[in-house]
Amino acid sequence: MATPKPEKLLCVLPLPAPPNLEQQMKEKHPEMDFEYIFHRFDTRNALACVKDIVPPEKFQSATVLVTLTMLPDPADCPNLELIHVFSAGTNHIANHPIFTNTKIPICTATGVHGPQIAEWVLMTLLAHNHLLPRMYEFQKKHLWERERTMEFHRVRDLVGQRIGVLGYGSIGRQIARVSKAMGMDVIAYTATPKKTPEARQDSGYIVPGTGDPDGSIPSAWFGGLDKDSLHNFLEQDIDVLVLSLPLTAKTRHLLGEAEFEILAKKQAFLVNISRGEIIDQPDLIRALEKGSLRGAALDVTDPEPLPKDDPLWDAPNILIAPHISGVGSAYSERAFQILDINLTRRAKGEKLINVVQRERGY
């Protein structure tokens, strides 16, 4: 009988290990040797800086790698069979030789962000609708302005407003769930048309009690990556448009002047929690200045970090955050839950979840 191949789980992450992680991994996956390497977040090219942090020999025996940005040269990881990335998107590693020149399965943390990001989306939307920045200015000046301002009488609640979710993955589904609870009508858009109930189901990781597992929340579904299909979706009297789709060659600058002119029909509010490059940023600034859009909340920009002298900072009716909408105390715990699911499935020879389709880029 052949000797089983040694298994090694190597974690290289820019966050401290959760309490008792090593013990839990040994109990659930005793066949695996476990090593955790903490490093500070580094925005340099992953291949260029990984050798500064992890000696190449550390990768030699690794069969499973958990990482965010740090990937080894393919020659340094001859035994690697699975990569688990602690992010939903993989555009930041799409040009790495591991991604382009190997067939090592790559799985993501898709599904862990939904609750946190959905709350951020609704928080920014409600803050804009209810003039929270204006109220805070009153507070800082110690002004009781109830009798002297009429602008609050123009506040419109969300009931009956239509939210278009452009990119109906795990994040989009939780945004839909909380929006529906606020009385909004939800319509969904996906790159691949979902015409049957089976196609509309969510087959990835779902935080219990969240999302839209069976795809029943939207009142209408739209799909396709051609401009005609996109414009048909945007023409559906959308009050709020949320971007929650991955960045690929086909989605870069997906929204620009023509799309903002369509949204001007209802003077829509735009929220982007996906990637900054999906929007033509100068066109967005002009749309805000013209009043084609009533406002925008951006957790992502192009580039990042946004330079101090970038005109986006001073665009009217805008809220900008430094790519933090998905950050939270439960992030790491949920990401390791996905890893645990896939390690268990891998050991049983079952199909993995959250597997990146390289040809699609996500």
Q: What residues are annotated to the active site?
A: 275, 304, 323
- d(Cα 176, Cα 213) in Å, to the nearest integer? 11
- d(Cα 287, Cα 263) in Å, to the nearest integer? 10
- What residues contact residue 322 under an 8 Å CB cut-off, 6+ apart? 299, 304, 305
- d(Cα 12, Cα 9) in Å, to the nearest integer? 10
In terms of Cα–Cα distance, which of 164, 44, 210 is closest to 53? 44
- d(Cα 29, Cα 20) in Å, to the nearest integer? 14
The β-bridge partners of 85 are: 67
Q: What are the phi and psi torsion angles at 330 (to 5°)? A: -90, -5
- d(Cα 344, Cα 79) in Å, to the nearest integer? 19
- d(Cα 36, Cα 335) in Å, to the nearest integer? 15
Tokens (6 digits) for 125: 């939307």
- d(Cα 246, Cα 362) in Å, to the nearest integer? 7
Please check whether residue 242 is in contact with residue 271, taking contact to mean a CB–CB distance below 8 angstroms. Answer: yes
∠270-272-276 over CA atoms, to 5°? 125
- d(Cα 228, Cα 249) in Å, to the nearest integer? 18
CB neighbours (10 Å) of residue 348? 8
Per DSSP, helices labelled H in the chain are: 21-28, 46-53, 57-60, 97-101, 114-129, 132-140, 170-181, 227-234, 257-263, 281-290, 331-348
Find tokens 């896939």 and name the residue: 342
